[in-house]
Amino acid sequence: MAKKIERRNSKIHGNGVFATRRIRKGEEVVEYKGRLITHDEADETYGGEDTGHTFLFTLNDKYVVDANVGGNIARWINHSCAPNCIAYTEGHKSGKKKKDRVVIEALREIRKGEELTYDYEIGIDGPITAAERKLWVCHCGAPECTGTLLKVKPRRKQAVRKKTQARTKARVRQRRKAA
């Protein structure tokens, strides 16, 4: 079977991932892969100054996928405020957190040649500052673009869903804790 995605230059930001064939709605496109590290290891390794760019993806309450090491093509999928894909974590049937995975799935039919995107949903506590908005600026170009990759976390507790949307960019979480 021919590959369904490839990395190319993107109009959104740097590199991007594009469909090499039609991808059906609901189709699993790719698993986000990389080295598994704990949240503390991620904070220790990448806890320096924010750059607005990272390949960390929160897997669960214990682990983060670090696509800087052993990452695959999924690390090049860009953010969009009007995404055609969704990223979610899938718990392993054994209950072993180390075997959980991050899946990128098509939200709608994706045409051959179309860039794949998902909402990074980088959750932060409190209002977004001007400096954070500048650092985490969005270039998706969607009519409903919020101008930033950041989202203020709701204050109320939410029920855990089977397909919990993955929270990306563990560094933002760590930096907020330190502030």
How confident is the model at residue 155, as a pLDDT? 67
State the pTM of this model: 0.80
- CATH code of the domain in which 30 resides: 2.170.270.10
Q: Where in the sequence is the domain holding 79, given as residue range(s)?
A: 5-178
Average pLDDT, 10 consecutive residues per value, the chain (179 residues): 88 95 97 94 80 81 93 95 95 92 97 96 86 90 92 62 34 43
What lies within 8 Å, CB to CB, of 11 at 6+ separation is 115, 141
Structure confidence at residue 46 (pLDDT)? 84
142-177 as b/e: b if 16+ CB within 10 A = eeeeeebbbeebeeeeeeeeeeeebbbbbbbbbbee
Domain count, the chain: 1
